Amino acid sequence: MLQSLRNIWDIPDLRKRCLFTLMILAIYRLGSHIPTPGINTGALKDFFEQNRSNWFGLADMFSGGNLSNATIFTLGIMPYISASIILQLLTVVWPYLEKLSKEGELGRRKITQYTRYGTILLSCIQSLGIAAYLENLTSSGKLQIVSQPGWGFKIMTVLTLTTGTAFIMWLGEQITDRGIGNGMSLLIFAGIVVGFPSGVLAIFVKIRSNELNLITTIALLGMMFLVVAIIVFVERGQRRITVQYANRVVGRRMYRGQSTHLPLRVNTAGVIPVIFASSIIAFPQTVASFFQANNPWMEAVYEQLQWGYPLYNLLYVSFIIFFCYFYTSIVFNPDDVAENMRKYGGFIPGIRPGKRTAEYLDHVLSRITFGGAVYLALIAILPEFLISGFRVAPIPLIGEPLDAFFTRYDLGWITEGLHLPFYFGGTSLLIVVGVAMDTVAQIEAQLVMRHYEGFSGPGKGRRIRGRRF
């Protein structure tokens, strides 16, 4: 392991890429300490402390604490993610974008340009909504968060937050192009990791104040390690499809047939569905929060979309499963794989080349993607047990009796939660572990390509491989 880390610095190009990535992340964290003008940050922090257990805690985690501190990076990377979702959905239904997506590098650049425009537009809308929302917001101490409300504050906030989001988008693209890759994911990764020390400190404070006993703390740590182990196990899981290649004649040379395999990952989409689902569900939450004051129906919708409520859980899980299949269909096209396999004389034993092969691959991928989608949904809703529990009372017909049953038999932690720090939830661990594994795999690929050993050391069978399912 130490030798592999030393090898990184022996390769000039890889060393430059790693140092460039670290420099960009440092700039990103530096911008997280520049406040937005006109906001009482102390009052805003007090408000977030009171609402840490709902969607505000999730959004603040993805922004790396920028939302609770009202910095110039308050919107974070969420507008870019939302714009990417919209463009990918339009690619399926709009022939013009579908044609662009098939034009190679030129089409990809055009779609990226449209994504940037969409990010700026969404940033303007969201920053205007945030400015209007903050003007009517007070902390628990009845302190006004915005000292001088009005259109001057709104315009300044829109310009500041939109510029901050555009700068974050540029930083992510720089990491992707000139760094070690996964620029947007690494920015989210950095925002989550920076909050881990405070989460650990909060645990020790609870232990010293006797809010948490030793057994609960050990159980919490054990569950953390178990979740990490499950994430690593499933993320490396593969279904290997045997592919046989026939003899080929190229020029005057005869190439003998060989047998290989086509790896299909259990979780092909990675952490993208969780991020997409969180971004999509944030939109109706934000809209409902603007109109809940004078509209009882909107107030009821806003309450149902809070962290831990049945409607929120249903929408969150449904979006995760949908985006698992949707994103997998984008990154893996069975028809293209079957056609390329046929061109090079490959076939799956027992399956006819061409259409039958594409149908077989689609069938296998659909089945294993369902398992990956369920795994992502379970990991993503795990924080609700640690924070606010499942509010079963609003469920029609059976909600009230079920809530009374839990209360009667001392199972209130199911509905009230354990009120533990959000950083130890499944979503944050999933993103951190997933991005870390992808980054390590990319660095290892660079080392192996330059004839260096990877992180797993020399010897047969020591490379990082997928687990067979």
> Model confidence at 117, in pLDDT bands (50, 70, 90)?
very high
What one-character DSSP code corresponds to residue 353? Answer: T
| pLDDT tens digits, 216-246 | 778 777 877 887 888 888 888 888 888 887 7
Q: What percent of the chain has pLDDT over 70?
A: 76
Mean pLDDT, the chain, integer: 77
Mean pLDDT calculated for residue range 54-83: 71
Which residue, 334, 355, 382, sits at the end of a domain? Answer: 382
Residue 148 is predicted with a pLDDT of: 78
Which residue, 328, 359, 382, sits at the end of a domain? Answer: 382
Tell me whether residue 163 is in a domain: yes
For 70, other C-beta atoms within 10 Å of its C-beta total 25
How far apart, in whole angstroms, are the C-alpha atoms of residue 323 and residue 134? 32
| Residue 81 and residue 141 in one domain | yes
Token pair of 357 as six digits: 């092969």
How far apart, in whole angstroms, are the C-alpha atoms of residue 389 and residue 382? 9
Give the three-class secondary structure for 25: helix
Query: Can you give the pTM of this predicted structure?
Result: 0.70
CA proximity to 186, closest of 22, 31, 65: 22
Phi first, then psi: what are they for 331, rounded to 5°?
-85, -15
Question: What is the maximum alpha-carbon separation in the chain?
Answer: 85
Residue span of the structural domain in which 111 resides = 1-193
Can you give the C-alpha Rg of the chain in angstroms?
A: 25
Give the three-class secondary structure for 467: strand
How far apart, in whole angstroms, are the C-alpha atoms of residue 114 and residue 139? 39
What is the chain's percent helix, strand, coil content, to nearest 5?
65, 5, 25
Residue 11 is predicted with a pLDDT of: 78
Mean pLDDT calculated for residue range 265-284: 79
Which residue, 363, 382, 401, sits at the end of a domain? Answer: 382
Does 459 score more than 60 pLDDT? no
| pLDDT tens digits, 48-57 | 666 554 555 5
| pLDDT tens digits, 409-452 | 666 666 666 665 555 556 677 778 878 887 887 777 777 776 65
Number of domains in the chain: 2
What's the CATH code of the domain at 45?
A: 1.10.3370.10
Residue 440 is predicted with a pLDDT of: 80
| Residue 189 and residue 258 in one domain | no
> Model confidence at 355, in pLDDT bands (50, 70, 90)?
confident
| Residue 185 and residue 305 in one domain | no
Residue 120 is predicted with a pLDDT of: 92
Are 184 and 435 within 8 A, CB to CB?
A: no
| Residue 152 and residue 259 in one domain | no
Question: How many residues are recorded in the chain?
Answer: 469
Residue 469 is predicted with a pLDDT of: 45
Token pair of 408 as six digits: 């009667």
Mean pLDDT calculated for residue range 297-304: 72
Burial (CB < 10 A; 0-12, 13-18, 19+), residue 31, is: middle
Residue 189 is predicted with a pLDDT of: 83
Token pair of 183 as six digits: 């620029």
Tell me whether residue 182 is in a domain: yes
Residue 425 is predicted with a pLDDT of: 58
How far apart, in whole angstroms, are the C-alpha atoms of residue 442 and residue 156? 41
